[in-house]
Amino acid sequence: MNKIVILGAGRIGQTIAIDLCHDFQVKVADISEQNLSTLSSSSPIQTSKCDLGQSSEIKAVIAEADLVICAMPGFMGFNTLKTIIESGKNVVDISFFDEDPFLLDELAKRNNVIAVVDCGVAPGMDNIILGYHSKRMKVDSFECLVGGLPLIRTWPYEYKAPFSPIDVIAEYTRPSRIVKEGCLITRPALSDSEMINFPQVGTLEAFNTDGLRSLVKTMKVPNMIERTLRYPGHINYMKVLRESGFFSEESIIINGSEIRPIDLTSRLLFPMWKLEKDEEDFTIMRITIEGQEKEKSIKYVYNLYDRYDKETKIHSMSRTTGFTCTAVARLIMKKMYRNTGINPPEYIGEQEDCFNEIIRYLKARGVTYQVESTQL
């Protein structure tokens, strides 16, 4: 049986492991004994406690893997991916690190490695959808609205982090890149707020985040933007914290002790942002693509509304992110996708058989994208 090693046993890493363990020999590595014990007690999954901040320990735990999945926090992602590629292992990555993944492209090609990066829901599935259409029409504009939220709004933040909270804070500080009329424009995170109504949940607040990522390099689309969705009022809370310095990584001295404000903020916020075991959440996404197809103006709208699965007790963001990742992992294992080097998800979407298989795979797990097309 083929072997898959998953680096990171957080909520999404656990979902990935459970989805793959019946068809592959799965091992999960993490430093947290608590997270690992949850997996080993309920599924046919091997576990390994190790410090994934050490390249030597990563290389040891993935030595026999046929495929590696990197489900690490963003600040550890780039170096972890580099170590995996140096080890000559195919990899699917969902760590969403800051660095440019194409810096590792030559290394991956030299080692004959398929490395798929940013393979979640957004970035991830939105890239796959745009990649599919960009090969079949002249795309003039692309917009992705996406958010993961708790079903029940709880004061004060009315928010819970369905993935690594430190990566959520990065969304509020990292400048947002958008493409307008063919020009790359940088806007502050949390900027250009807009109220948008969604039939399933009501009014949400949209704001700029840096979610286009690889698309600004790989897609020649004159207008592209990605915006994050939260319950109304969340932006002002985050702006106050950011502008007051609570997200700063510059150390300050308090009573003779050196501390980074972001470390204190994280320690205080994360317990309040933690999704409880059976707390219901949802993922909502709307992707709009407009352009010319067969000499006609056309608009495609993809809508996703996914909820916490009460039967499996898997949170929605874990489902929508994790199952996209496992769908692509299976494409690689079945040799349906063979391109070596760094592969952002849009490259996979360009291949019709891969796109259709991903859509089918997600639908089989209850993650269904409703598609509407309109001739303009």
- 108/218 same-domain check: no
Pick the closest to residue 309 from 258, 259, 246, 368 (CA basis). 368
Let me know whether 205 and 334 are in one domain.
no
Same domain, 270 and 184: yes
**204 and 222 fall within a common domain:** yes
| DSSP secondary structure letter of residue 314 | B
Q: Which residue has the tokens 């949390």?
A: 190
Phi/psi at 186 (5° precision): -110, 125
pLDDT at 1 over 80: no
- Are residue 78 and residue 206 in the same domain, yes or no? no
* Inter-CA distances, 196 with 218, 224, 229, 232, Å: 29, 18, 9, 10
Which of 307, 334, 350 terminates a domain? The answer is 307
Query: In terms of domains, do 20 and 91 share one?
Result: yes
> What CATH number has the domain bearing residue 222?
3.30.360.10
Res. 66: pLDDT tops 90: yes
375 in any annotated domain: no
Say how far apart CA 157 and CA 231 lie, in whole Å.
9
- How many domains is the chain partitioned into structurally? 2
**Of residues 23, 130, 3, 8, the one with CA closest to residue 74:** 8
Give CA angle at 328 (327, 330), nearest 5°. Answer: 70
**Which two three-digit tokens encode residue 353?**
């058989």
pLDDT value, residue 163: 67
Whole-structure pTM value: 0.95
pLDDT in tens, 187-241: 999 999 999 999 999 999 999 999 999 999 999 999 999 999 999 999 999 999 9
pLDDT one-digit tens code per residue, 331-365: 999 999 999 999 999 999 999 999 999 999 999 99
Structural domain for 211, as ranges: 125-307
**Would you list the DSSP string of 292-307?**
EETTEEEEEEEEEEEE
| DSSP states along 257-277 | EEE-HHHHHHHHHHHHHBPPT
Please report, rounded to a whole number, the percentage of residues in the chain having pLDDT higher than 90.
89
Calculate mean pLDDT across residues 69-78: 94
For every residue of 188-199, DSSP letters joined together read -TT-S-EEEEET
pLDDT at 48 over 80: yes
Alpha-helical segments (H) within the chain: 11-20, 33-40, 55-61, 74-86, 105-110, 125-134, 165-173, 215-218, 234-243, 261-273, 316-333, 345-349, 352-364
**Residue 165 pLDDT:** 72
CA-CA distance, 138 to 117, in Å (whole number)? 25
- pLDDT at residue 240, as a whole number: 95
